[in-house]
């Protein structure tokens, strides 16, 4: 078999506080090792100092987490495996994510009797679902405000250089990697009118692109270089994006 493989078009970078990076990376690696050991989607690095989140105004009437990760695990591989994954999410450093807002009202699109977890309130929320047919899926979902959804589809189609698969009028996904038993997806979900997105400040989506010059003028926000291969920008709802110039066949510097 050919050992060379084109790198993942997308990785998720999580920014941990100083001294916590290795713990969080190990936690994620252990969780995903029994699901997709062949790919490393989540990369943890440490920031020099914590972000002062209280400097940002989060007083809007209804906000929804900007990013989630759902693991769709197949029942044919046994309940023991599913329970093992769920059990790991219920122990430190994972924390149960509250499914109600400050007024005690259920958050929109949080399914009944479904628990969500997180490693940090500025990182994605995680959940587990059991599937009965098809492949297992690791799905990274970006939640889009109602008015930004169509523009977001166009933006990520342009970055990924592929069309989205539309499943519903308010939901689509991009197939980023697949085998006979596993698939990695980036999905976009439209929120109801009046619900704003709460971008996760410690979560960054990095995409590999072959060319940056023609892409920059088409982006909705300024795109600034942070190294000789990486450029930083954000999408319509404020989710952080890194664009890494990569030529297939050359070393990734």
Report whether pLDDT(116) > 80.
yes
Closest CA to 205 of 235, 245, 166, 247: 235
In a domain, 104, yes or no: no
| pLDDT tens-digit series, residues 193-239 | 999 999 999 999 999 999 999 999 999 999 999 999 999 999 999 99
In a domain, 57, yes or no: no
**Mean pLDDT throughout 48-64?**
54
In a domain, 223, yes or no: yes
In a domain, 209, yes or no: yes
| pLDDT tens-digit series, residues 92-102 | 999 998 765 44
**Mean pLDDT throughout 233-247?**
94
CA 45, distance to chain mean position in Å, is 16
At 148, which CATH number?
A: 3.10.180.10
Percent of the chain with pLDDT over 90: 66
- What range defines the domain where residue 213 resides? 10-50+62-97+112-245
31 neighbors 93 (Cβ within 8 angstroms) = no
List Cα–Cα distances, 172 to 15, 41, 74, 165, in angstroms.
Answer: 27, 20, 21, 5
- Number of domains making up the chain: 1
In a domain, 74, yes or no: yes
Closest CA to 137 of 190, 87, 173, 113: 173
Quote the tokens at residue 11.
């990785």
d(CA 111, CA 184): 22
Residue 35 or residue 42, greater confidence: 42
In a domain, 250, yes or no: no
Q: How many CA atoms within 13 Å lie on the side-chain side of 253? A: 7
In a domain, 55, yes or no: no
In a domain, 229, yes or no: yes
């Amino acid at each position: 078999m050919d050992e060379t493989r084109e790198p993942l078009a997308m990785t998720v970078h999580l920014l941990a506080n100083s001294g916590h990076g290795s713990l969080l990376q190990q936690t994620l690696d252990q969780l995903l090792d029994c699901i997709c050991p062949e790919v490393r989607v989540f990369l943890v690095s440490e920031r020099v100092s914590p972000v002062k989140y209280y400097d940002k105004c989060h007083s809007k009437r209804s906000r929804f987490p900007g990013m989630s990760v759902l693991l769709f695990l197949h029942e044919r591989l046994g309940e023991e495996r599913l329970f093992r994954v769920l059990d790991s999410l219920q122990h430190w450093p994972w924390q149960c994510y509250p499914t109600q807002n400050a007024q005690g009202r259920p958050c929109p699109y949080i399914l009944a009797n479904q628990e969500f977890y997180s490693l940090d309130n500025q990182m994605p929320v995680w959940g587990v679902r059991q599937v009965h047919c098809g492949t297992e899926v690791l799905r990274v979902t970006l939640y889009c405000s109602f008015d930004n959804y169509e523009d977001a589809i166009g933006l990520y189609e342009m970055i990924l250089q592929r069309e989205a698969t539309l499943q519903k009028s308010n939901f689509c996904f991009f197939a980023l990697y697949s085998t006979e038993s596993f698939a990695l997806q980036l999905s976009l979900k439209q929120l109801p009118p009046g619900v704003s997105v709460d971008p996760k400040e410690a979560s960054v989506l990095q995409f590999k692109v072959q060319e940056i010059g023609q892409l920059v003028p088409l982006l909705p926000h300024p795109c600034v270089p942070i190294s000789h291969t990486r450029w930083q920008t954000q999408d319509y709802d404020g989710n952080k994006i890194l664009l890494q110039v990569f030529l297939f066949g050359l070393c990734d510097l």
